[in-house]
Amino acid sequence: GQSLEQPSEVTAVEGAIVQINCTYQTSGFYGLSWYQQHDGGAPTFLSYNALDGLEETGRFSSFLSRSDSYGYLLLQELQMKDSASYFCAALTYSTLTFGKGTMLLVSP
């Protein structure tokens, strides 16, 4: 089966840097995606890593190590609006399998 593990909650202050880790056990793995969800609303796509290494998109970066079945999302210069749930998701041939999500709380 497919499983992804990520911390349930992370707290940080405005302006700080936070890293959300994700380990996965997935057969037929294509790549790792990250999604943001504010208060139960529509999840929005943040990033996708198919190859090992770091992908940077503005304040957000995502990393993948296929050999370690591990990835992380790095959020820099945290803002209050970054308070949300972040889900890692493994892409296989037919679908995305999601982790249980990490709630990020950003305080002033």
Q: How far is the CB of 94 from another protein (least distance, A)?
A: 4
Residue with tokens 């790095």: 74
Of residues 14 and 95, the one with the C-beta less far from another protein: 95
Residue 100's CB is within 10 A of a number of other CB atoms, namely 13
Is 14 or 52 the residue whose CB approaches another protein more closely?
A: 52
- DSSP-assigned beta bridge partners for residue 11: 105
**Which residues are near another protein by CB under 8 A?**
30-31, 33, 35, 37, 40-45, 48, 50, 85, 87, 89, 91, 94-101
* Residues 79 and 14 sit within 8 Å (Cβ to Cβ): yes
CB of 15 to another protein, least distance (A): 27
Query: Minimal distance in Å, beta carbon 40 to another protein?
Result: 5
Order of strands across the sheet with 53-57?
A: 3-5, 18-25, 70-75, 60-65, 53-57
Rounded Cα–Cα distance for residues 106 and 18 (Å): 10
Task: Give the residue with the Cβ less far from another protein, 16 or 59.
Answer: 59
Question: Largest Cα–Cα distance in the chain?
Answer: 42
For residue 63, the minimal CB distance to another protein (Å) is: 16
Complex with another protein: residue 18 or 91, whichever CB lies closer: 91
